[in-house]
């Protein structure tokens, strides 16, 4: 009996095996591993991305600090290097420690009604961050982007996807008291539009070309779009959440959990933030979930055989994994038992790394498969069960999300959050802005905007006063509680 059904899976693979040789590309519009001279797509080299993009690897020391500061064991995505890279995440931990405000920002381009498990990864992680930090979250639906970047989609079509995509996102389990979801077509205007224009004024065509690879034939909507995705990183775009006083809101940074392909937008935004004295966003980057066809391929919403969809039935999940999931097993059972399987390319094992919570169980499976004690069929069965459970739980929550719930999440309203319960809440205010992220006031467009020593002193004093006030309020509360 063949322990490995790859041959059959490849025969039916909807993804072309042979492509022209070329370098790895990862940007918001293209994701593909390096293609060798043999025409085979290699797995994405994430270390190379960290180097090229100039981000930092998430290391053990950062994870240990995270656990000390939040009192929470890092999410399995962090423990397993699936969320693997960051920009200034440590500044967010500093702020959390000091009780200073920040918010979470993520998004999705509503390009179809079919959400697959790969789409849910950044949202699962974002929900966990929201639960951990207890901060506001804004979720951007870039209907305009999906219109601009597609030859055939109409505005009506992409707007139509917003509501169903919002339901899928809500079904991940976000807290309505702390979450604002918006579509660009609906929300652009007011403070948000002011920031979009501010951002666009600081990006030249040359820069946009260098960052995104645009050329003379690119429509200007695409060239401008980065200012829209970028401006969402600024708290001052959301006066209904953070207030209208830009002296305060300029000081509040975003933490953006996203897949690494979105980094170019925010590299650009961070640059401009520094120049207009707005707090720079921090980022935390996730890897992609491979398509069923294996490393180097990416799930596609338009190719049913490439992915497990959140609408799939338990039977469809079982059939897809059995039929298509690329296996790291050997060709015959005898050889497999003798030499063992390769978990690094085995799709079922890779999916378990994403979805199986228990570290010990995962390690037991890895060892057994690599020793050849566990066969591909058994590994696939474990993966099938895990995915069926994940998808079914999602579907149960999704069934309860009606239009009224979507309206609630998308309504412009104040949000409620606590932040770090152990740190007194501090709102740094200055004539101009922002202590912690090293940000200073926009001293008029073009001014150098640096804080004077006096202003710094004032800021420090103000912070101390705020902290004292918070401490007093807390003591009062405690006394009242004792008296009651
Ligand atoms: N451009 C993203 C997409 O096509 C959507 C998006 C907007 C986003 N803002 C974001 C994703 C912030 C991650 C973080 O899916």
pLDDT of 1 > 60? The answer is no
pLDDT of residue 450: 41
Q: What percent of the chain has pLDDT over 70?
A: 85
Kindly report the three-state secondary structure assignment for every residue of the chain.
CECCCHHHHHHCCCCCCCCCCECCEEECCEEECCECCCCCECCCCHHHHHHHHCCEECCHHHHHHHHHHHCCCCCHHHHCCCEEEEECHHHHHHHHHHCCCCEEEEEECCCCCCCEHHHHHHHHHHHHHHHHHCCCEEEEECHHHHHHCCCCCCHHHHHHHHHHHHHHHHCCCCCHHHEEEEEHHHHCCHHHHHHHHHHHHCCCHHHHHHHHCCCCCCCHHHHHHHHHHHHCCCHHHCHHHHCCCHHHHCCCCEEEEEEHHHHHHHHHHHHHHHHHCCCCCEEEEECCCEECCEEEEECCCCCHHHCCECCCCHHHHHHHHHHHCCCCCCCEHHHHHHHCCCCCCCHHHHHHHHHCCCHHHHHHHHHHHHHCCCCHHHHHHHHHHHHHHHHHHHHHHHHCCCHHHHHHHHCCCCCCCCCCCCCCCCCCCCCCCCCCCCCCCCCCCCCCCCCCHHHHHHHHHHHHHHHHHHHHHHHHHHHHHHHC
> Ligand 1: residues within 6 Å at CB?
28, 105-109, 140, 142, 145, 229, 256, 258, 262
Compute, in angstroms, the gap from residue 387 CA to the centroid of ligand 1: 25
317 within a domain of the structure (yes/no): no
Compute, in angstroms, the gap from residue 257 CA to the centroid of ligand 1: 10
Q: Which of 18-22, 184-188, 252-256, 375-379 has the least mean pLDDT? A: 18-22
Q: Which of 92-96, 208-212, 234-238, 420-424 has the least mean pLDDT? A: 420-424
Confidence class for position 8, pLDDT limits 50, 70, 90? very low
Question: Which tens digit of pLDDT belongs to each residue from 20-73?
Answer: 678 898 999 888 889 888 888 888 999 999 999 999 999 999 999 999 999 999
297/186: higher pLDDT: 186
29 within a domain of the structure (yes/no): no
Last residue of a domain, one of 286, 306, 324: 286
Going by CA atoms, what residue is nearest to atom 12 of ligand 1? 106
Compute, in angstroms, the gap from residue 284 CA to the centroid of ligand 1: 13
Compute, in angstroms, the gap from residue 231 CA to the centroid of ligand 1: 12
Residue 215 to residues 24, 41, 200, 219: CA-CA distances in angstroms?
Answer: 20, 26, 18, 9
Compute, in angstroms, the gap from residue 370 CA to the centroid of ligand 1: 37
The answer to whether 98 and 137 are in contact (CB under 8 A) is: no
Question: Model-level pTM?
Answer: 0.86
Q: Which atom of ligand 1 is nearest to the CA of 256?
A: 14
Average pLDDT rounded to a whole number, residues 263-286: 97
28 within a domain of the structure (yes/no): no
Q: What gap in Å lies between CA 59 and CA 45, rounded to an integer? A: 17
Last residue of a domain, one of 265, 286, 307: 286
The backbone region for 318, taken as left when phi is positive above 0, alpha when psi lies in -120 to 50, beta otherwise, is alpha
Name the residue of 27, 28, 107, 199 to mutate for ligand 1: max ligand atoms within 8 A of Cβ.
107
Compute, in angstroms, the gap from residue 214 CA to the centroid of ligand 1: 19
What are the tokens at 137? 């979250």
365 within a domain of the structure (yes/no): no
Q: Which atom of ligand 1 is nearest to the CA of 259?
A: 13
Count up the domains in the chain and report the number. 2
422 within a domain of the structure (yes/no): no
321 within a domain of the structure (yes/no): no
232 within a domain of the structure (yes/no): yes
Question: Which tens digit of pLDDT belongs to each residue from 112-167?
Answer: 898 999 999 999 999 999 999 999 999 999 999 999 999 999 999 999 999 999 99
Last residue of a domain, one of 271, 286, 301: 286
Residue 476, domain extent: 452-484
Burial class (CB in 10 A: 0-12, 13-18, 19+), 455: middle
We report the CATH number of the domain holding residue 188 as 3.40.50.620
Going by CA atoms, what residue is nearest to atom 14 of ligand 1? 106
150 within a domain of the structure (yes/no): yes
């Amino acid at each position: 009996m063949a322990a490995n059904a790859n041959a059959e899976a490849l025969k039916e693979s909807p993804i072309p095996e042979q492509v022209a040789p070329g370098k790895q590309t990862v940007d918001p519009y293209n994701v593909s591993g390096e293609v060798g001279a043999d025409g085979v797509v290699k797995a994405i080299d994430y270390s190379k991305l960290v180097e090229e993009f100039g981000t930092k690897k998430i290391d053990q020391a950062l994870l240990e600090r995270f656990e000390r500061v939040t009192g929470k064991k890092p999410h399995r995505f962090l423990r397993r290097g699936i969320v693997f890279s960051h920009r200034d995440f440590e500044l967010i931990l500093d702020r959390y420690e000091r009780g200073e405000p920040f918010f979470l920002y993520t998004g999705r381009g509503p390009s179809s009604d079919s959400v697959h498990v790969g789409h849910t990864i950044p949202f699962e992680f974002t929900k966990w961050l929201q639960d951990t930090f207890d901060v506001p979250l804004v979720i951007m639906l870039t209907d305009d982007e999906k219109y601009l970047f597609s030859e055939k989609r109409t505005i009506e079509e992409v707007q139509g996807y917003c509501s169903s995509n919002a339901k899928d996102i809500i079904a991940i389990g976000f807290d309505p008291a702390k979450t604002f979801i918006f579509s660009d077509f609906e929300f652009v205007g007011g403070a948000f539009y002011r920031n979009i224009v501010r951002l666009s004024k600081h990006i030249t065509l040359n820069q946009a070309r260098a960052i995104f690879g645009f050329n003379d034939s690119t429509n200007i909507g695409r060239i401008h779009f980065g200012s829209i995705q970028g401006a969402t990183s600024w708290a001052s775009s959301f006066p209904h959440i953070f207030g209208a006083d830009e002296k305060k809101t300029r000081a509040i940074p975003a933490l953006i959990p996203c897949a690494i392909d979105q980094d170019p937008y925010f590299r650009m935004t961070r640059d401009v933030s520094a120049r207009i004295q707005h707090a720079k966003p921090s980022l935390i980057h996730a890897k992609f979930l491979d398509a069923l066809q294996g490393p180097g391929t990416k799930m596609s919403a338009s190719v049913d055989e490439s992915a497990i969809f959140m609408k799939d039935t338990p039977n469809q999940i079982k059939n897809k994994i059995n039929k298509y999931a690329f296996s790291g097993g050997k060709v015959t059972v005898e050889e497999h038992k003798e030499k063992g399987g390769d978990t690094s390319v085995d799709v079922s094992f890779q999916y378990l790394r994403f979805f199986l919570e228990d570290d010990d169980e995962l390690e037991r499976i890895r060892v057994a498969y690599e020793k050849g004690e566990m066969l591909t069929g058994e590994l696939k069965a474990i993966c099938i069960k895990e995915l069926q459970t994940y998808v079914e739980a999602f579907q149960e929550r999704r069934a309860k999300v009606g239009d009224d719930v979507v309206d609630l999440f998308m309504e412009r309203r104040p949000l409620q959050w606590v932040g770090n319960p152990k740190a007194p809440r501090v709102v740094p205010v200055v004539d101009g802005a922002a202590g912690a992220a090293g940000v200073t006031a926009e001293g008029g467009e073009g001014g150098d905007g640096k804080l004077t020593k006096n202003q710094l002193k004032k800021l420090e004093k103000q912070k101390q006063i705020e902290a004292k006030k918070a401490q007093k309020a807390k003591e009062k509360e405690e006394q009242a509680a004792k008296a009651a």
